[in-house]
């Protein structure tokens, strides 16, 4: 996604011909947008995929200690399955918290 920008001059000119003045600027989508807005629309399929990829991750994608893609359902197995789930979640949560701290380190300055 592009950083903060004015709309393309051709878009501003085209919209002006329709009586619409575009004076606002674009910005990348933020996690808080999902809380703050009732509706988020993508302009095309690639935009939608970018949004989903950026803000819709499986928890195992944060885990650095294991190669699993998903947390397995341990319900029909023995105690070792539940132990594995706890281990996966613990590793994923540690990495997730580390990434949140890094992403927000500028707030502590």
> Residues 67-105: pLDDT tens digits?
999 999 999 999 999 999 999 999 999 999 998 898 888
Q: What is the pLDDT of residue 28?
A: 86
- What total number of domains does the chain contain? 1
- Report pLDDT digits (tens) over 30-67: 888 988 998 888 889 998 998 888 888 889 999 888 89
Structural domain that includes position 64? 58-109
Q: Residue 98 catalytic?
A: no
* Rounded-to-integer distance, Cα 96 and Cα 59, Å: 8
Q: Is residue 21 part of a domain?
A: no
Which is catalytic among the residues 36, 44, 67, 73?
73
Confidence of residue 1 (pLDDT cuts 50, 70, 90): very low
Q: Is residue 44 part of a domain?
A: no
Is the dihedral angle over the CA atoms 38, 105, 69, 83 positive or is it negative?
Answer: negative
* Rounded-to-integer distance, Cα 19 and Cα 14, Å: 9
Q: What is the pLDDT of residue 2?
A: 52
Q: Is residue 64 part of a domain?
A: yes
User: Token pair 């594995």 is at which residue?
Assistant: 84
63 contacts 95 by C-beta, under 8 angstroms: yes
Q: Is residue 93 part of a domain?
A: yes
Nearest Cα neighbor of 72 from 50, 93, 55, 87 is 87
Confidence of residue 27 (pLDDT cuts 50, 70, 90): confident
């Amino acid at each position: 996604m592009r950083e903060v920008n004015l709309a393309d001059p051709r878009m501003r000119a085209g919209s002006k011909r329709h009586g619409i003045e575009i004076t606002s600027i674009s910005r990348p989508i933020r996690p808080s947008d999902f809380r703050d807005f009732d509706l988020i629309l993508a302009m095309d399929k690639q935009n939608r995929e970018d949004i989903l990829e950026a803000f819709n991750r499986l928890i195992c994608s944060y885990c650095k200690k294991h190669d699993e893609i998903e947390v397995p359902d341990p319900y029909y197995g023995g105690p070792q399955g539940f132990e594995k789930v706890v281990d996966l979640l613990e590793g994923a949560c540690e990495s997730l918290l580390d990434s949140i701290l890094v992403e927000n380190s500028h707030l502590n300055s």
